[in-house]
A and B are shown apart, each in its own frame.
Chain A
Amino acid sequence: MSEHIVPTRVYYLVFLALMVGTAATVWVAYLDLGFANTAVAMGIAVTKATLVILYFMHVKYSSRLTWVVVASGFIWLGILFVLGLTDYLSRGWLPQPGVPRI
């Protein structure tokens, strides 16, 4: 196979970054940042997942088709979440004439 062979140094660096990320996410979880806690936790998780996908799973070195397949998985997840939440987040928005809104 004519695939790019990733130097092991990259794997160790990514591993290190993932460990740091894990430590960071645990540490941040104990700080009270209000709503930002969730955002930071998810941000770190997305970063870690991206590292795994790009380096451990070689997507960085893969064909455009692989990128499309990976992206489509997450886009479809986005469709499910976004359209599903349009319902959950907008319930009760309809002003009912009998119920005054202030």
Chain B
Amino acid sequence: MIENLPLFPAQASGLAGQVDALYFFLIAVSAFFSLLIALLVIVFAIRYRRRAPDDVGAGITGSLQLELLWTIVPFGITMVMFVWGAWVYFALNRPPQAAMEIYVVGKQWMWKVQHPDGQREINELHVPVGRPVKLLMGTEDVIHSFFIPAFRTKFDVVPGKLTTLWFEATKPGRYHLFCAEYCGTKHSAMTGWIEVMEPAAFQAWLSGGAVEGSLASRGERLFQDLACHTCHMPDSQGRGPVLDGLFGKRVQLQDGRTVTADENYLRESIVLPQAKIVAGYQPLMPTFQGLISEEGLLQLIAYIKTLGPKAPGTSEAPEGSPAGGRTADPSTGSGSSRAQSRDERERAGVGPRERK
């Protein structure tokens, strides 16, 4: 029976220990106060039990000192919880720069995973141990939530935007993946496994299996298929803004605002191009809402992220490596860097049909 009665989840990520420390602190505080209250109630209830039917209690009305005490002490303790909790929360929300990127799409009722090198998985995610992994996540339909108890982290995937979640697995093994936000009939079947592997085994896994081409190369194919390249030219001759070197930069908008060209900006600019018009350009771009699947969007974004700033004098053949100066770009992780090197090898591969 006892082996079937786990009391504590596996601890398999860098931040899990921090979350657990916070948890134990709160348990200690809670246990102390619950027992204190329970003890006082029991002691008073017995010690001062009614001995004669017409007894009355003592004429005590209150005490300002005590009220202050039990206002200030809980306040102090909760502020400790707040600061500590916020600290951990920020850590959970800020992926390290070197994180490898994996793209996840939730849909009723499965998790579809795309690795930068092109491997795809459903309801499974293979990651190496000891390396930060950043998931860039979207959804095709309703809200889901990507939840890995062993890593003590989860994040919702929300229609209309991309969200991120990161972790660094510390122990090889197989861990539960759950959808934590109710998403319809088979919500409880939208589960899977996180397979944490030793780096060597992970490399072996990456190179095994049929691969259709890296994510970025599939994005590039989509970029051509959708004729994005007719307006977004690598030089400023096009009708649309230059995308090379765009990712991570500040963009001046027509209405005077400045935004950072992050993944959500790219996504929105494809789906709702009118929302943010780049200064100096006409609002000409049609919306691609409904024309590209969420996975396709992620591929396009992966592609655009690989477009480094154009090095002066480099010739830009249509099929040429768009990665000209990308090593100088600090904004992309090493994960997509390798994607780039595989890019040309996989170019011949047939891209998946992305139109609905």
Contact = CB atoms under 8 A, between A and B. Distances in A.
**Chain A in direct contact with chain B (Cβ < 8 angstroms):** yes
Interface of A: 92, 94-102
A98 B259 CA distance: 16
Interface stretch (B89-97, B229-237, B340-348): B89-97
Nearest to A34: B256
B274 interface: no
A49 B332 CA distance: 53
Interface in B11-40: none
Given A94-B93, A94-B94, A100 B330 contact: yes
Given A92-B262, A92-B264, A98 B95 contact: yes
B188 interface: no
Contacts of B355: none
A98 B99 contact: yes
B186 interface: no
Contact of A97 (B95, B249, B259, B262): B95
Interface residues of B, number: 20
Q: Which of A94, A98, A99, A101: most chain B Cβ within 10 A?
A: A98
Report whether over half of chain B's contact residues are helix, strand or loop; otherwise say mixed. Answer: loop
Contacts, number: 35
Interface of B: 90, 93-97, 99, 134, 164, 248-250, 259-260, 262, 264, 330-333
A96 B261 CA distance: 12
Contacts of B250: 101-102
The 8 closest A-B pairs by CB, nearest first: A97-B97, A102-B250, A99-B248, A99-B262, A98-B97, A100-B248, A99-B331, A97-B94
A95 B93 CA distance: 10
10 contacts: A92-B260, A92-B264, A96-B164, A96-B262, A97-B95, A98-B97, A98-B331, A98-B333, A99-B260, A101-B260
A12 B259 CA distance: 51
B59 to A, nearest CB: 34
Contacts of B94: 94-97
Q: Which of A94, A96, A101, A102: most chain B Cβ within 10 A?
A: A96
A60 B1 CA distance: 73
A94 B134 CA distance: 16
Q: Which of A94, A97, A101: most chain B Cβ within 10 A?
A: A97
A99 to B, nearest CB: 5
A96 B95 contact: yes
Given A102-B249, A102-B250, A97 B260 contact: no
